């Protein structure tokens, strides 16, 4: 039986979390065939929702002079991880991470990318520093194993003060803004 699924309706709905939970339990159940049609359909749906939330950022080429901060969540039969990074070409970086994850039998569970900023490096470093302070679990560089994705996104939001917005096509006056 085929279903027509509208990501706009499902995104943010409690059923979306249920779909992820069902997929994760099937991946982690040793008897589940990863290649079964049911699991393959769940993988496709979960990845489609993650990519849908990214919107055009998942495919647009980078714009010179801008950066973006991103948070990606992946899960497999044995573990999960969150990857935090910055890039000047998010679509390319997303493809690279998805290819790497797929080789390890990981599924893209969720994804978030920031608006364009002039330089995401200070923001990224502040986020990584805070996540390292909070997360006592296994980590390797910008990869945090068993870290809650929502916690990582919360830290990204808290550290947003470290970023200078970049309005593409709009010049910021040389002196910036002056408060009187």
Q: What are the φ and ψ backbone dihedral angles of 124, each rounded to 5 degrees?
A: -60, -45
The answer to whether the CB of 73 falls within 8 A of the CB of 82 is yes
pLDDT of residue 162 exceeding 70, the answer is no
Alpha-carbon span 48 to 131, nearest angstrom: 27
Q: What is the pLDDT of residue 12?
A: 66
Q: What is the pLDDT of residues 92-146, one digit of tens each?
A: 999 999 999 989 889 999 999 998 888 889 999 999 999 999 998 899 989 999 9
The answer to whether the CB of 87 falls within 8 A of the CB of 68 is yes
Alpha-carbon span 82 to 150, nearest angstrom: 10
> Average pLDDT, whole number, for the chain?
82
The answer to whether the CB of 21 falls within 8 A of the CB of 27 is no
pTM above 0.75, yes or no: yes
């Amino acid at each position: 039986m085929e279903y027509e699924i509208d990501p706009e309706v499902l995104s943010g709905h409690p059923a979306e979390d249920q779909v992820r939970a069902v997929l994760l339990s099937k991946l982690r159940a040793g008897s589940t065939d990863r290649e079964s049609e049911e699991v393959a359909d769940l993988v496709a749906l979960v990845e489609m929702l993650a990519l849908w939330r990214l919107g055009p950022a998942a495919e647009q080429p980078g714009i010179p002079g801008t950066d973006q901060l991103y948070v990606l969540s992946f899960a497999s039969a044995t573990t999960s991880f969150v990857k935090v990074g910055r890039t000047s070409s998010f679509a390319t970086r997303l493809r690279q991470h998805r290819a790497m994850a797929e080789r390890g039998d990981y599924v893209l569970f969720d994804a978030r990318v920031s608006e364009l900023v002039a330089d995401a490096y200070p923001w990224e470093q502040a986020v990584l520093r805070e996540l390292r302070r909070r997360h006592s679990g296994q980590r390797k560089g910008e990869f945090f194993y068993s870290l809650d994705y929502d916690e990582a996104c919360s830290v990204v939001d808290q550290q947003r003060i470290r970023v200078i917005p970049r309005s593409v096509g709009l010049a910021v006056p040389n002196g910036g803004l002056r408060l009187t």
